[in-house]
Amino acid sequence: MRSRNGLLLFAVLGGMFLAMLDQTIVGTALPRITTELGGTGLYTWVVTAYLLTSTVTVPLYGRLSDAYGRKPLLLVGVVLFLLGSILSGAAQSMGQLIAFRGVQGLGAGALLPLSLALVIDLFPPERSGRVQGALGGVMALSYIAGPFLGGLFTDHASWRWAFYVNVPIGAVLVAIIVWRLPHRPGHGGARPDYLGIAVFSAAISALLVGLTEKGIDGHTWTSGPVIGPIGAALALLVVFVLVERRAAEPIVPLHLFANGTYSLVNVASFFTAFCMYAGVVFLPRYFQEAHGLSATSSGLHIYPLMLAMVVGSAVTGVLISRTRRYKPWLMIAPVFLVAGTALCANLEVGTSTPLLVAWMALIGLGMGPMLSGLTVAIQTSVPLRYIGTASANLTFFRQIGGSVALAVAGTAYTSVVTREAPVHGMPAAHAAATATVIPWLGVVGAVVALLALALLPRVDPQGGVRLDGPAPQQDLVAA
């Protein structure tokens, strides 16, 4: 029994690790990929193709898994992800790589939300908090391992191994899913909401295209390639809401947003991503530009932040399991985020290493609890039949929040560098830009997340998965 539980835990953690590792390992290898395959102008689309397909499919996998069970959907996702990984590793041009990254993203959309949902399916409530903490730790660990492995493969083997590394892990995962993961049929449902799927896909694709175009070839927020797709996305989202209100089996059940806990946790997830993506993306850039470090070395230098994320996530999972409460620990996390990001406003070229390590650790201790605690909060706020949908929407809002944060932060970063470089020199300009971007996004994101969490009701009115028993509950205490 213990070995079987270990295999099931690997199925849950392995899916999460594959999806998150890919996002970090490929970024480190991209400069070498561009040099070898050419097509510098297509650089960002290697990332965007994956982001497009994975973000669009996240809610679809979650909703379909509620209707038809996790096992078949997770198996489809892992197989597509592995196929895309193999094809990406064998790509001979940037066009091929972009197309194959899209295939990879089609599979990745299943890995994150279904890993979160499987925790409820496979583990008793008294263990779910610990497992969610482990998932948050795996997410942070992938950020640690990704830059190191990407640099290692690129420098000593081939960038193609940044994709091939997924194959052995994924093969083991497929075997466990096929022979050990139990199949629990979902609640079934009416004919799939094809119109909703089409409108939603078009809306999110347009939004991500507009955000990606921001900063390419000098495009500003008012440039046609930016404002056009974003405007179209907003219009399509209005149409999507109208479609979902009439659908017999909507892909995104709008009535869930009437649940205060559900809505507030998604808001907190969106704004937490502002902090997370700023720290992960712009701190390495500070080390590269202000100190002249390599991409691999810059990734290693943010290990204090990532290790603190692992610790914060794991400890929060244990505390939630022991106290049967999540709100107190979620309320503490944004305080650490505000403190750490605000201190980064003092960042300079000559900032001492001990100080910077302490600041990054504070940021990580704030991020970690949000990764695990928000998942517990949203899964306990909905009926069991919507666990997959709730987990998927949490992942979706996190990814969209990160995409918006990167676009906004990129604008702020570039403007500061442009202003400061002629006066103080390039290294000082990049230090000043980092000191502007991280505190601004971090404080705004953390404060909004804190306000949303402060409004969480003490008693969840909808019922969901109990932290103290297996049955749907009516009296879960958040605070």
| Distance from C-alpha of 55 to C-alpha of 78, rounded to nearest angstrom | 16
**Residue 97: closest CA among 158, 152, 34:** 34
How confident is the model at residue 361, as a pLDDT?
92
CB 347 within 8 A of CB 286: yes
DSSP string, 432-447: HHHHHHHHHHHHHHHH
CB 244 within 8 A of CB 257: no
How confident is the model at residue 84, as a pLDDT?
95
CB 56 within 8 A of CB 201: yes
> With 50 as the cut, is the pLDDT of residue 470 above it?
no
CB 19 within 8 A of CB 398: no
> With 80 as the cut, is the pLDDT of residue 217 above it?
no
> With 90 as the cut, is the pLDDT of residue 210 above it?
no
Locus of tokens 């204090």: 304
DSSP string, 372-424: HHHHHHHHTSS-GGGHHHHHHHHHHHHHHHHHHHHHHHHHHHHHHHHHHHHHH
Q: Quick: pLDDT tens for 313-332.
A: 888 888 887 887 888 888 89
**Residue 302: closest CA among 286, 326, 321:** 286
- Three-state DSSP at 39 gives coil
* Contacting residues for 43 by C-beta, under 8 A, at least 6 apart: 30, 34
- Three-state DSSP at 464 gives coil
Rounded to 10°, the helix 43-68/387-424 angle is 160
**Residue 285: closest CA among 273, 274, 299, 271:** 299
Locus of tokens 């690790």: 17
Average pLDDT over residues 112-120: 84
- Three-state DSSP at 465 gives strand
End-to-end, the C-alpha distance of the chain in Å comes to 35
Q: Give the amino acid at 357.
A: V
pLDDT band per the 50, 70, 90 thresholds, residue 73: very high
Alpha-carbon radius of gyration of the chain: 21
What is the torsional sign of CA 23, 25, 31, 36?
Answer: negative
Q: Between residues 75 and 280, which one has the greater pLDDT? A: 75
| Distance from C-alpha of 78 to C-alpha of 83, rounded to nearest angstrom | 9
> Torsions phi, psi of 367, nearest 5?
-70, -45
| Distance from C-alpha of 327 to C-alpha of 456, rounded to nearest angstrom | 8
DSSP string, 55-85: HHHHHHHHHHHHHH-HHHHHHHHHHHHHHHH
How confident is the model at residue 103, as a pLDDT?
95
CB 167 within 8 A of CB 107: no
Q: Give the amino acid at 57.
A: T
How confident is the model at residue 426, as a pLDDT?
81
**Residue 316: closest CA among 135, 477, 459, 452:** 135
pLDDT band per the 50, 70, 90 thresholds, residue 424: confident
> With 50 as the cut, is the pLDDT of residue 474 above it?
no
